[in-house]
């Protein structure tokens, strides 16, 4: 089943429009976006420590012990 070329172009323009809307929102709300990114990174770090993930395993043993006792 082949796509109609007009439908394909319309789909591409719709995706580009949605991306443009997202980029517009980010540029207008920089502080909120940076806060959201910061919160995601902090939560990911806490979960990495709790479940002893990759970055936790890269830490020295003494810091791993301290963090294991902390969480």
pLDDT higher than 90, residue 65: yes
* Neighbour-count burial of 48, counting CB atoms closer than 10 A to its CB (0-12 exposed, 13-18 middle, 19+ buried): middle
**pLDDT tens per residue, range 20-53:** 788 888 889 899 999 999 999 999 999 999 998 9
Would you say the pTM of this structure is higher than 0.75? no
- Quick one: average pLDDT of 52-68? 92
Closest listed residue to residue 55, CA positions, set 63, 65, 45: 45
- The answer to whether 45 and 51 are in contact (CB under 8 A) is no
- The answer to whether 34 and 42 are in contact (CB under 8 A) is no
- How many residues make up the chain in this entry? 71
In sign, the C-alpha dihedral spanning 36, 40, 41, 46 is positive
């Amino acid at each position: 089943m082949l796509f109609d070329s007009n439908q394909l172009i319309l789909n591409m323009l719709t995706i580009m429009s949605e991306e443009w809307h997202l980029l517009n929102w980010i540029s207008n709300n920089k502080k909120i976006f940076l806060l959201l990114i910061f919160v995601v990174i902090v939560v990911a770090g806490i979960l990495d420590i709790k479940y002893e993930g990759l970055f936790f395993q890269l830490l020295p043993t003494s810091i791993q012990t301290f963090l294991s006792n902390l969480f």
